[in-house]
Structures are given as structure tokens and as C-alpha cells.
Chain A
Amino acid sequence: MLPAILVITILGGLFGLGLGWASRRFQVESDPVIDQIEAILPQTQCGQCNYPGCRPYAEAIANGEADINQCAPGGEAGIIALADLLAVEPKSLNPANGEEKPKALAVIDEMVCIGCTLCIQACPVDAILGASKYMHTVIDSECTGCELCLPPCPVDCIDMVVKDQGTGDWKWPKPQVIAMNLHENHP
């Protein structure tokens, strides 16, 4: 009896030491969690999550102060990716933080613009070109669709325009599963 206990204990100790050494020796270098969370966020810098930018929101999630369902531009895909990363249950987007919309770009109506530069100061990624008393215009390729330029404009000349689905944007659709799907079939 006693020798058996001794042997098992010694074996257990040896294996434990071995595992500890292996965990150090074969450790995989990974990014800190904040960077990983930030990589999932869409970098729109819009503030709809109630944080001044994507990095502060990522830090808040990492600290446990914020929930994962506050990012509207990231949408459901983003929430699911965050849930996967942090090993929690995905939730639906919090309606208080906006709704998931197709990506739209800001367009300034040049007939109305008065050149006040308030939108330029508001844009978090410097996507608006212009100067005081000169025409302002939004650079399409830089605009993230955050909508922060809309409130400051005194003449309300900025519109959010969804890019229409032309042949240029078209992508092959997801195949329709014809067989009964586990989640979707209800007699």
C-alpha cells in the first residue's frame, strides 16, 4: 500500500515539474489581450461605444469595465469575434450604442458648404480636406463612416451615402444550404 502511494506521489511530482518546464520552454509569444481586442475592432473611432476611440474601448473591455456588445460598426461579426477571443458568450448589439448599418461614406454638399472647418476639426482620422473659407471635401478612401462630422456642421450639408452594390463591389454569395439545418429547421 505504502510503496504504491509513494510511487504515485513521486510520479505526480515528476510530471508536474515536467509540465511546468514545458510550459515555460514551449510558451507561445502572444500579443497582450488589449492589442488582440483592438485588432478585431473596426478602427472607425466613432465613439458610439461611449469611449473616445477604439483603443480606449479595447482597454475598457480588457479591464472588464465595458461589455463586448457596444461596437455598432463592428456589428455582429465583431461581437462574435470578441466573444471567441475572450471565451465568453456572444450577445446581440446593445441598441443604446447604435445599430448595425451598411458602411456609408460622408459626402459634403458643395453647394451648401460655408468653409467653417468645424467638420475638419471633428474628423478623427483627418479625412476631410479643406481650409477656412475654402471648399471642404471628404476623401472617400479615408472616411470610416463614423458620422462625427455631422453634428458640428452649422448648415447641415453632410450626408451619409451608402455605396451602391455595383458589379465592382459584388461578391459571390454564401451557398444556400438546402438540407435541414440543425439550427434552422422547425417542422
Chain B
Amino acid sequence: MTQIDRLTQARQAGEQLHHFHGGLRLRHNKKISCELPLEPMPLPPRFYVPLLQHSGPEAKANVSIGQTVLKGERIGLGSHPGRGCIHAPTSGTVKALARRAISHPSGLEGLCVVIEPDGLDQWKKLEPIGDWNNAPPSELRQKISDSGIVGLGGAVFPTSVKVEEASEKGIHTLILNGSECEPYISCDEMLMREQPDSIILGARILQRAVGANRTIIAIEDQMGAVNQALMAAVTESGAGDIDIVTVTTIYPEGGEKQLIQVLTGLEVPSGGRPSDLGLLCQNVATATAVARAVVEGKPLIERIVTVTGNGISKPRNLLARIGTPIECLIDQCGGYTENAARLILGGPMMGYALDSDSNPVIKAANCILVLSDFDIRPPQAEMPCIRCGECARVCPALLLPQQLHWQISNQQWDETAKYGLSDCIECGCCDFVCPSHIPLVEWFRFGQDQLRSLATDRKQAEEAKQKFEAREARLARTKLERKQRMDEKKRALRDEAERKRKLAEAVDRSRSRQDKEA
């Protein structure tokens, strides 16, 4: 299929629904957190804002201890322009720049800006873009960059980088991902039900920022109320360039590549991006954050967090600010139940466990899930693989998990690259069906990291080798040049000596002739 054909097919996104391979039908468990309305969180006694909240290196603190900051003031600068700046969640004083738990999957500590609120919650001077409809797209993209917006679906990739790269390639369709496929998580559903206007606004702004001419909002088929709310907001807002498409609820429908396959029937090329097909995919919450940043001038300082699970007394969705300790959210939900056993940031399939609820809310925190001891996996003995093939049957990326597992255990890294380990989206479907209870997702996360560091090591080794060879060549050359110079000198000296000798002979001859004549 040529690129032109692919683009043509991509333009017809949403007209016909396709299927992706594999996937699982899981129990949703979302209703329990949708019963209570969305509620903003009260201010906690202290905010602990981590400087690492995006994919990439840690941001650098922009403030000093004792400094007073206003709400929305920039407190962390990303290492590259457009990559991950951090803003203060409220007005107050910077109490410390401390290393503490930052809700990282490793459990390692990182640098946090500790802010004590002064209770006034005063915004900094807001600078919205008044007439965004006529503002140049580059100005819109710059605003997104300055507002610290990252992908709020969980990957926290800096949105401005994605949007910048996408606009360079040319985008015809914007896809807003509202199909939250992981069980328990309902923050996007809540957002779509209660604030659909902001999503539509965000869609329009993003469309203008990347030059797309239509938007598709993808929602799941069991989100009935959402559909109506969104439809109403779309018709109210006017123009007919936004379509709402309902997709079937199969995990991991909400994965970017899987959603694109369902909407267009195309597969994002391995190692490529959706922008290669002229598509840009953003989470609905990211779109809302963009709307807020452009129209109100407010940077990203809060997000909707679903607090749910059998370990929570009153599950619900909360509007929480970045840096709020998770224990405050738990308290707001009535505290833990008796048999709360595991604290997870994210969903039950792809989320990671945290060791303490003093960890803060970060931009990636779409859900705080507390499972009871009945729900979680007890440590199961890992049996040998019986090659049943269930893992390959459910893999949405069409991989062979049993082969990959074998290769990673035996450190056959070149083979894993050939079998597509880097294409694994870590959805956990294979793990869920394995009768031998092999922790496949842990193996593949380990394997992908090893593969990446191996590639880096190899590259460094190659560069070191080239430098070494260049140095050897240079030393050999200098040696040769020195030798040539010495030879030149010797020759010149010999010539000089020869010339002097000839001159002396000539003088001698002439003198002896003179003597004879005299």
C-alpha cells in the first residue's frame, strides 16, 4: 500500500469501524466511581510538586527556598524548550526543595518543590490568547508549550512537542481519545459528562494549531450519557467538523495505535507515528487543558483523578491539583476500607503499585486504585511455559509473547528486536491469560529497557572505537610527519655541508691558482 493510499484511507477515519487483533473483554467496574458528582479538592496543608512529571529528564527548579509564588507561576523549567515546565498549584511560600517520593514506578526519590499554601489561592497575571480564532497557529502552539501541558492519558508525553512535530508533517484529522478502556478508570467519562464544552473548545483550538480540518471524538459504547452530553455540546457550538464515533469496548481499545486501527483500518507503521498517516491523537483531558490554557491563560496545575477500588469507602472522581499528597484524596473519599491491600497509580492492567500514600498526585495520575486483598494477585509460582498460544491470541500488537519471553530469559537481544519487542505496548493482555502465571509484562518492560540500553551501549562503543582509531591514525600521521621533517633537515644539512665543501674546494682551487701566479 503506497503512502498516498494510506493517507486517503486515513482521511476516511470514522466512517467505518474495523477491528484490531486480540484484546480482552474485561469487567468495567466504572459505575461505582461515577455515582457521585465531580468535586474539587480542598487545599492540603502542603503541596509536594515533583520536578519529574513527563517523559524525559527532570525539570530544573526556577524558584528558591523562601520565595513566594502565585498560583500558576512557573516553578520548573524543562531541559529543552517545550518539554515539561511545571507550575505552582496555588499561591504560597516555597518551603523547601527536597528529595522525596514522587510517585515514580521505581519507588526512587526525586526533587520536589514543597509549597505551603497561604490560603488566598491567588492566580498570577493570566495571559490568555483573546482571539484564538485568528491567532497564528504557532502562537497557539507556543501557549501550549508554556502551559506545561502533557498527554493526560497516562503517557505524559509533552503535548507541545507532539503538536509541533505533527504540524510539520501535516495533519488532516484530529482524534480525541475518550475511550478509556482500562477497568475502574472513569476520569475521562466524568469530564465528558460534566464539561463537554471545554472539550469541544479544546478540539477547535487544537485543530487550528495543527491545521486539521476535522475532529473525531471516540467514546466507548457503554458511555450512554456521555454521548448525549457531547452531542448537545457539539450542536450548540456550531460548525459540523466534529464527529462523535462510538467504538466497542474491548481492552486495550484506548491505546493510540489500536484506536487508529479501529477508526481507519490502518496500522501505524512500526517505529513510526500517527502523524505519518496525517492523524493526531490526543486525550480529551489534554484537549480541555489546551482550552483552559489558550482561552483562560491557566497553565496545567490540576486534573481529574478517579479514586476507586474495593479498598476505598466512597469511590468518586476528584479534581485534584498536582502535588497533593494522595492521602488527602483518600480522606476526601471516606478513607480506606478494612481490607485495603494495594495502592496503585493507574489502572489494574497497566498501573504501578506505590509503597505509600504520601506520594503526590502527578500529571500522569489518572486513577488512584486501592484494591483489596481479594482482588490482587497473590504471589503466584511461575510455571514453565506450556506453549498454549493464548498470549499470541490476545496480543493487539500481533506479537508472539511466548517467543519473546524465551528470548529475554536467555538474553538473546538481537532476536527480540527481530520479533518486535519494541512494538509491545505493555497492555497486559498476554499476562492476564497465561495459565502458567508468567509475569509477562514485567519481563517485557525489563526486556525493552535492556534492549534500549544495549542499543545505547553499542552506539557509544562504536563511537569510542572510531575515536580510538582516529587517534591512532593521528598519532601515526604525526609520527610520519616528524620523521619526514627530520629527513628533510638531514638532507638539507647534507646539502649545506656539500655546498660548503664545494665552496671550500673552489676557494682552495682559486687560492692555489693565485699562489701559483704570484
A and B from one complex = yes
A20-64 at interface with B (beta carbon < 8 Å): 38, 41-45, 53-54
Say whether B383 contacts A179, CB under 8 Å: yes
Q: Give, as a whole number of angstroms, the nearest-CB distance from B471 to chain A.
A: 5
| Complexed CA–CA distance, A53 and B466 (Å) | 12
Interface membership of B379, Cβ < 8 A: yes
| Complexed CA–CA distance, A145 and B439 (Å) | 36
Q: For this complex, into which size category does the number of interface residues on chain A fall?
A: 20 to 34
How many B residues have CB within 8 A of the partner chain? 36
| Complexed CA–CA distance, A41 and B381 (Å) | 37
Interface membership of B487, Cβ < 8 A: no
Give a binary string over B23-57; 1 marks a CB under 8 Å from any A CB, 0 the rest: 00000000000000000000000000000100001
Known A43-B461, A54-B465; contact A171-B382, beta-carbon cutoff 8 A: no
Say whether A175 contacts B464, CB under 8 Å: no
Say whether A170 contacts B464, CB under 8 Å: no
Say whether A179 contacts B465, CB under 8 Å: no
Say whether B465 contacts A43, CB under 8 Å: yes
Q: Give, as a whole number of angstroms, the nearest-CB distance from B381 to chain A.
A: 4
Q: Give, as a whole number of angstroms, the nearest-CB distance from A126 to chain B.
A: 5
Say whether A172 contacts B449, CB under 8 Å: yes
Residues of the A chain whose Cβ atoms lie less than 8 Å from the Cβ of B472: 53
Say whether A45 contacts B381, CB under 8 Å: no
Q: Which residue of B lies closest to A44 (CB)?
A: B464
Give a binary string over B58-73; 1 marks a CB under 8 Å from any A CB, 0 the rest: 1000000000000000
Interface membership of B6, Cβ < 8 A: no
Say whether B453 contacts A171, CB under 8 Å: yes
B391-446 at interface with A (beta carbon < 8 Å): 411, 439, 442-443, 445-446
Say whether A167 contacts B106, CB under 8 Å: yes
Known A125-B471, A167-B58, A167-B104; contact A174-B446, beta-carbon cutoff 8 A: yes
| Complexed CA–CA distance, A127 and B470 (Å) | 12
Interface membership of A7, Cβ < 8 A: no
Known A42-B457, A126-B470; contact A171-B464, beta-carbon cutoff 8 A: no
Q: Give, as a whole number of angstroms, the nearest-CB distance from B141 to chain A.
A: 27
| Complexed CA–CA distance, A77 and B413 (Å) | 12
Say whether B108 contacts A178, CB under 8 Å: no
Say whether B468 contacts A171, CB under 8 Å: no
Partner of A45, one of B57, B379, B464: B464
| Complexed CA–CA distance, A154 and B439 (Å) | 54
Say whether A42 contacts B442, CB under 8 Å: no
Give a binary string over A133-172; 1 marks a CB under 8 Å from any B CB, 0 the rest: 0000000001010000000000000000000011110111
Say whether A42 contacts B449, CB under 8 Å: no
Give a binary string over B459-479; 1 marks a CB under 8 Å from any A CB, 0 the rest: 011111101101110000000
Q: Give, as a whole number of angstroms, the nearest-CB distance from A103 to chain B.
A: 9
Residues of the B chain whose Cβ atoms lie less than 8 Å from the Cβ of A142: 463-464, 467
Interface membership of B16, Cβ < 8 A: no
Say whether B464 contacts A178, CB under 8 Å: no
Residues of the A chain whose Cβ atoms lie less than 8 Å from the Cβ of B471: 124-126
Q: Which residue of B lies closest to A127 (CB)?
A: B467
Interface centre among A38, A43, A174, by most chain B C-beta atoms within 10 angstroms, is A43
| Complexed CA–CA distance, A142 and B439 (Å) | 38
Say whether B381 contacts A171, CB under 8 Å: no
Say whether A125 contacts B383, CB under 8 Å: no
Give a binary string over B68-104; 1 marks a CB under 8 Å from any A CB, 0 the rest: 0000000000000000000000000000000000101
Residues of the A chain whose Cβ atoms lie less than 8 Å from the Cβ of B110: 166-167
| Complexed CA–CA distance, A172 and B107 (Å) | 11
Say whether B439 contacts A175, CB under 8 Å: yes
Say whether B446 contacts A144, CB under 8 Å: no
Known A53-B468, A142-B467; contact A167-B108, beta-carbon cutoff 8 A: yes
Interface membership of B450, Cβ < 8 A: yes
Say whether A125 contacts B453, CB under 8 Å: no
Residues of the A chain whose Cβ atoms lie less than 8 Å from the Cβ of B57: 168
Interface membership of B380, Cβ < 8 A: yes
Residues of the B chain whose Cβ atoms lie less than 8 Å from the Cβ of A95: none
Interface membership of A177, Cβ < 8 A: yes
Interface membership of A173, Cβ < 8 A: yes
Q: What are 27 A-B contacts defined by CB distance under 8 Å?
A: A42-B457, A42-B461, A43-B461, A43-B468, A45-B464, A45-B468, A53-B472, A125-B471, A126-B470, A126-B471, A127-B467, A142-B467, A144-B460, A167-B58, A167-B106, A167-B108, A170-B106, A170-B108, A172-B105, A172-B442, A172-B446, A172-B448, A175-B439, A175-B442, A175-B443, A177-B382, A178-B381
Q: Which 5 A-B pairs have the closest CB atoms?
A: A171-B449, A172-B445, A43-B461, A175-B442, A125-B467
